[in-house]
Amino acid sequence: MASHPGVRAALLKLQQDFARQAGGAVLDGRDIGTVIAPDAPVKLFVTARPETRAHRRWLQLTGRGEAIAFDDMLADIIRRDERDAGRGAAPMVMADDAVLLDTTEMDIEAAFDAARRVVEAARVRHGF
């Protein structure tokens, strides 16, 4: 998928303004901590093994009646990761000051709790 510089610039400004809103914001994306909000006081780099992410997505899609083979889902996940990590503009990389949260062995509740604990620790450390 090609990136259009004009659209990317407009979205960048919109996302950066959203991130700076009074009271803060929670953003999710593959370039949030490095491009959109590099000065954010708390950054999580949430990941899981491709097989785990593919299985989760496969369950989600098949659960709503979509027919997709697991192997196709896994191939799509791997292609997307390679594309996003290798793109010239805003590649997917973990920010130096981000906390790595590998959710491979976690269910949704455990992942949420781990993320909450990281944010709460940062709130105490930074006093916000």
6 pLDDT tier (thresholds 50, 70, 90): confident
Give the CATH number for residue 38.
3.40.50.300
Which region among 48-52, 58-62, 98-102, 123-127 has the lowest average model confidence (pLDDT)? Answer: 123-127
Q: How many domains does the chain have?
A: 1
pTM: 0.84
Q: Is the pLDDT of residue 1 over 80?
A: no
Q: Which domain holds residue 95?
A: 5-126
Of residues 128, 42, 34, 50, the one with CA closest to residue 87? 34
Average pLDDT on 12-35 reads: 91
pLDDT 10s digits, 50-70: 999 999 999 999 999 999 999
Q: Is the pLDDT of residue 5 over 80?
A: no
Please say whether the beta carbons of 99 and 91 come within 8 A.
no
